[in-house]
Amino acid sequence: MPHLSGRSAALRAVIVQFLQERRDAKLEKLSADKPEDVLKRAELLEQFVPRTWLEDAARRAGQIQAVTHALKPTHPDARGTNLYCPPDSLPRLREMGSHALGQDFDGDVVGNAAALDVYKFLKLEHEGQTLLASMLAGDADVATALSDDPAEATTWIEAFTQLTQPRGRPGSHTLAKQLYWLTGEDPLNDADYHLLAPLYATSLAHRVFERLQDDRFSEAAKAARAARKAGEFHDRPTRDYPDLAVQKLGGTKPQNISQLNSERLGQNFLLASLPPRWHNRDVTPLLHADSMFWRFGRRPEVRRALKALRSFLATDPPRTVDTRDQRDDLAEELLDEFLSFGALMRELPSGWSDDPACRLQACEKVWLDVGASAARANDWADELARRYANWLNGALGTTEALRMGDPEQAHWRKALDEALADFDWELNHAE
């Protein structure tokens, strides 16, 4: 290609570098001593001449389609319409959807996996914009960078930009999902229904995957979780995703679903969206009881956390740092439940513990009742932590092999002491 200047030259340099890197990666696998490899080397050198490769890429572009909403994730054998809908062209809704991605999104591609290199070429960026986006915007510098022949460049750009256009007439497939949506007033009238064919929002799914991976495994997220565990400040919030499921698309060949699915190795996250499980758990004052722990220990979440911690300790794990960390993680679930229980009880009318039928210890009254008139000595939290540690030792030590002693009691006590310190301002503020 002749020498260019300005922005077209920079774009052409990006294209040439892409082709050289792909060519060199293939050449490195060839041996200089084998006659057949010598022939392959000559073929590769000819294949990656810019004009030759671009002409072939324009021809193969018809084998793939750029999409933001794909059909194949619904079923790998489904045949039908895929759509390329730039998120900023979609209606703005309050609900979460692809429109929230704006101009910053990853387009996907479906079709012949052997032609995916064409899309990788079109995703090359210069000045923050992909080649495909520049072509769709009618960027004249891109045309000049592609070819010195304006007619040839126009032909190639038309072939490349066709990737974003629907193929054939809109249609669904017997293996695709379909549902009838009532648009009229009469559910018995077929004409009052509209047939919907939901597509997989692949660009949105990819952004969700990237966000969750960053929140779970990035170094910054690990540092934030370590700071939280140590009770230290960190400028990054921690995010947890309970009951997360992973859906594998494409089996051993995720590239047959789409390019982005291949980049994720077929993994697609499913956030928990279960209906609420209602429990009749009216909050009532703790009367006629000498201790709060009988009600606390009956809570389903507490029983589950206790069972998990007891089962772990029963395996007699080695005394290592990993063991201590796992034990503390399980014990922290019980601490969270204890704090939640206290917050729940403090929602009752202030002063409920002054009822003569309330026989709780003073430290428990202070903890559970915002308006408790019980004396609030400086050591009320220490006494509460001691009682908690005694209760936990007893709840765990149900067998001879799991007898809990003073070291365990001191460990549980210290953990709750530190947790209660975070509530000091709230409790004092209520006075």
Neighbours of 125 (CB within 10 A): 11
Give the residue from 213, 235, 209, 214 showing the smallest Cα distance to 224: 235
Q: What is the pLDDT of residue 279?
A: 52
The secondary structure of 35-64 as a DSSP string is HHHHHHHHHHHHHTSHHHHHHHHHHHGGGE
pLDDT at 280 over 60: no
**195, β-bridge pairs:** 180
pLDDT-above-70 percentage for the chain? 93
| Angle at the Cα of 46 from the Cα atoms of 42 and 52, rounded to 5 degrees | 165
Q: Report d(CA 81, CA 69) in Å as an integer.
A: 9
Q: Report d(CA 291, CA 284) in Å as an integer.
A: 15
Q: Report d(CA 133, CA 137) in Å as an integer.
A: 6
Prediction pTM value = 0.58
pLDDT at 428 over 70: no
Straight-line distance from the first to the last Cα atom of the chain, in angstroms, rounded to the nearest whole number: 81
- For helices 35-47 and 6-27, angle between their N-to-C axes, nearest 10 degrees: 160
Q: Report d(CA 253, CA 4) in Å as an integer.
A: 42
Rounded to a whole number of angstroms, the CA Rg of the chain reads: 32
Q: What is the mean pLDDT of residues 212-220?
A: 93
Q: What is the mean pLDDT of residues 339-363?
A: 90
Q: Report d(CA 156, CA 381) in Å as an integer.
A: 75
Task: Report residue 133 as tokens.
Answer: 């986006």
pLDDT at 248 over 60: yes
Residue carrying the six token digits 């953990």 = 415
Task: Work out the pLDDT band at 179, boundaries 50, 70, 90.
Answer: very high
Q: What is the pLDDT of residue 324?
A: 85
Higher pLDDT, 208 or 243: 208
pLDDT at 135 over 80: yes
